[in-house]
Every structure is written in structure tokens, then in C-alpha cells.
Amino acid sequence: MPREGEAPPQIDARTPADFFEVITRAVFQSGFSWPVIAAKWEGFREAFAGFDPAAVAAFTPDDVDRLCADARIVRNRRKIEATVFNAEALLDLDEKHGGFRAYLGGHGGFDAASADLQKRFKWLGGLGAYYVLYVVKEPVPPFEEWRAAQGA
């Protein structure tokens, strides 16, 4: 996990589960400190079926209720429901584009990819989209330039 001011580690995302894990982390990190989420991440991995998007997309309302009571994760019902929705969205894009990486690369640049991620995935804002694209090694502008352009 990065220290204050350090960039998060990048990964060689190859499978839908790799991409889904990064998206899920972006969702749950929103509003929390990195160390809080890092400390619970193995619990997230277990609770969300190893980030297998097909398994999570099949979660029922009873599964959501179970996760809302699971102390191994952040028990935010809206984020849990968003994660189930996001699993379905990822599978749909993966199928329609011949892979999630192909979907990401089909936008012609960072701004279009970021905007589309924010439109398609629940609870994924601008910083979350930047995080996802950066971590999976898609081209992104330098962080300070991007933040300045956001007015931050």
C-alpha cells in the first residue's frame, strides 16, 4: 500500500477478476483512508468470491444482507449493492468488447475512458476512474496536472 504522497502500485491486469478487484477497491476507498481498506482487503477478497465478477453478479439480496453484517469488510450497503451492479457491468463490457482491456483502449484517450467508466460503474467518480486506469497501466496524465485541471 502506498504511503502518503506515493502512487499506488500498478498491476498487469489480465482477467476480468483483476479489473473487478481494482474497480471494487476504488469504490470502497472512496471516503476512507488507504490503510483502513488495506487492513480489510483480504476480507473483501473472501467476501466477494475472489473478485470473480460472474459469482458476484449472481449475488442475491440475501447475499447483500449477509455482507452488510460481515465485519471483515466496510459494511456500506450502497457500496455493496454498487459492487454487485459493477460486476454485471464489467461482464457486459467484457463480452461486448472482447475483453475489458479492449473496452478501455477503445476510447481514444484518458478523458473519454474516464468519463465512460464514471457513467457505467456505480460509485466511481473522477478520482476513482483515474485510480482504476492508472493501476491497470492505461495511459493517464501526470497526477498533479490532472488534479489541477479538476480544480483540486
- Report how far residue 148's alpha carbon sits from residue 99's, in angstroms, rounded to the nearest whole number: 32
Task: Give the fold, CATH level 3, of 16-150.
Answer: Endonuclease III; domain 1 (1.10.340)
Q: Taking 80 as the threshold, does the pLDDT of residue 90 lie above it?
A: yes
Which residues, 6+ apart, have CB-to-CB distance to 60 below 8 Å?
none
CB atoms under 10 Å from CB of 142, counted, come to: 8
Q: Taking 90 as the threshold, does the pLDDT of residue 66 lie above it?
A: yes
What pTM value is reported for the model? 0.95
4-54 tens-digit pLDDT: 668 899 999 999 999 999 999 999 999 998 899 999 999 999 999 999 999
67-78 tens-digit pLDDT: 999 999 999 999
- Report how far residue 152's alpha carbon sits from residue 148's, in angstroms, rounded to the nearest whole number: 6
- Report how far residue 84's alpha carbon sits from residue 113's, in angstroms, rounded to the nearest whole number: 21
- Decide if 89 contacts 52 (C-beta within 8 A): no
- Report how far residue 49's alpha carbon sits from residue 142's, in angstroms, rounded to the nearest whole number: 34
